[in-house]
Amino acid sequence: MKKAVIWLMCCLLVAVALGATKDDRNDGMRPIGKLQFTQQSWASGVTDAATTSINNCNMLIERIDVVASNSTNAITWSVAIADENAADVIPTISSIPENDTTTKLATKATADFDAIPVNNTLTVTITPSGDPGASGATVDVILYGP
């Protein structure tokens, strides 16, 4: 019995040394990173642009989601993302409808923008086309990349 246990332990050590226990089913797949700016909100009558920043961003931006809530008045939104030098990171996204999620991609044949590496502070400026009305409105901007 003792020899059998020793033999099994030796087999296990050899298997581990040879990589037989390595699970490589996810090799080639890369993790997806997500950065979400603080949700911005507008009360009835407010039409000013809202700005928020994220410090120390370190990612390759490959997808942008803009989630706009429903509002009493039919308004649209524009979203601009700039770096710490006020340079546009991607082209401004305009005419974003209310009550919708707008997705822009860098990873398709007809890409909306070029994937861009960032390693600094990012600032998003969200501008409504008008008064959201009695309901007010909220907008979320989410960045994805490896």
pLDDT at residue number 98: 92
Structural domains counted in the chain: 1
User: For residue 72, what are the contacts with CB-CB under 8 A and spacing of at least 6?
Assistant: 44, 132, 133, 134, 135
Whether 130 is in a domain gets the answer yes
Residue type, 134: A
96 within domain boundaries: yes
Does residue 20 fall inside a structural domain?
no
CB 130 within 8 A of CB 58: no
Query: For the segment 14-61, what is each residue's pLDDT rounded down to a tens digit?
Result: 666 665 555 555 555 556 788 889 999 999 999 999 999 999 888 999
Domain assignment present for 58: yes
In a domain, 127, yes or no: yes
Report whether pLDDT(79) > 90.
yes
What tokens appear for 144 in the block?
Answer: 């994805």
Does any domain span residue 22? no
Instruction: Enter the pTM of the model.
Output: 0.76
In terms of Cβ atoms closer than 10 Å to its own Cβ (0-12, 13-18, 19+), residue 9 is: exposed
**CATH code of 58's domain:** 2.60.120.380
**Cβ of 107: how many Cβ atoms within 10 Å?**
11
Residue 94 domain-assigned (yes or no): yes
pLDDT at 3: 73
Give the model's confidence band at 138: pLDDT under 50 very low, under 70 low, under 90 confident, else very high: very high
Query: Is 11 among the domain residues?
Result: no
Confidence of residue 142 (pLDDT cuts 50, 70, 90): very high
Q: Domain range holding 123?
A: 29-145
